Amino acid sequence: MFDTTEIRTTPTGSIDPVLQIRRSNAALSTEDRSYWTGASKSERLIELLETRERFDAEILRLTGEWERDRAWEIDGSLSPRSWLTRNTPLAGGEAQRLVRNARIVAEHEPVATGLADGEITTQHVEAMGRVMSGDRLPLLGEHAPVLVDQASKLPVEDFTKVMHHWASLADDELAKQEYAEKWERRHVHASVGLDGWVNGDFYLDPVFGAQFLSALDHEAPPDPEDAPDGPRTLSQRRADAPTDIFNMHINGGRPGSNPPNVSTVIDVASLLGETPQMATTRCEIEGVGGVTRTVLDQMCCEARFTRFIMARSSEILDMGRASRFPTKAQRRAMMVRDRHCRFPGCDRKPQWCDIHHIDGWVESLGETKIDNLILLCRRHHTVVHNSRWAIKRTADGEFEFIYPARGP
Per-residue pLDDT tens over the stretch 255-304: 444 444 555 555 545 555 554 444 444 556 655 555 555 566 655 555 54
Residue-level pLDDT at 155: 92
132-137-142 Cα angle (round to 5) = 120
- CA 392 to each of CA 347, 359, 363, 373: distance values in angstroms, whole numbers, following the listed order: 19, 9, 16, 11
Model confidence pLDDT, tens digit, residues 17-66: 666 676 676 777 777 888 889 998 899 899 888 888 988 999 999 999 99
User: Is there a contact between 243 and 379 (Cβ–Cβ < 8 Å)?
Assistant: yes
In angstroms, the CA 311 to CA 328 distance is 33
User: Is there a contact between 316 and 309 (Cβ–Cβ < 8 Å)?
Assistant: yes
In angstroms, the CA 213 to CA 190 distance is 18
Phi, psi of 142 (to 5 degrees): -70, -30
In angstroms, the CA 170 to CA 269 distance is 68
Residue-level pLDDT at 257: 45
In angstroms, the CA 100 to CA 125 distance is 10
Residue-level pLDDT at 159: 92
Phi, psi of 137 (to 5 degrees): -55, -45
**Residues in the chain, pLDDT under 70:** 1-20, 22-23, 25, 247-325, 360-366, 388, 404-408
Residue-level pLDDT at 148: 92
pTM, whole model, 2 decimals? 0.47
Q: Are strands 261-267 and 304-310 parallel, antiparallel or unpaired?
A: parallel
Residue-level pLDDT at 126: 92
In angstroms, the CA 192 to CA 286 distance is 12
Residue-level pLDDT at 407: 44
For residue 352, give the H/E element and its range. none
Residue-level pLDDT at 60: 92
293-295-301 Cα angle (round to 5) = 105
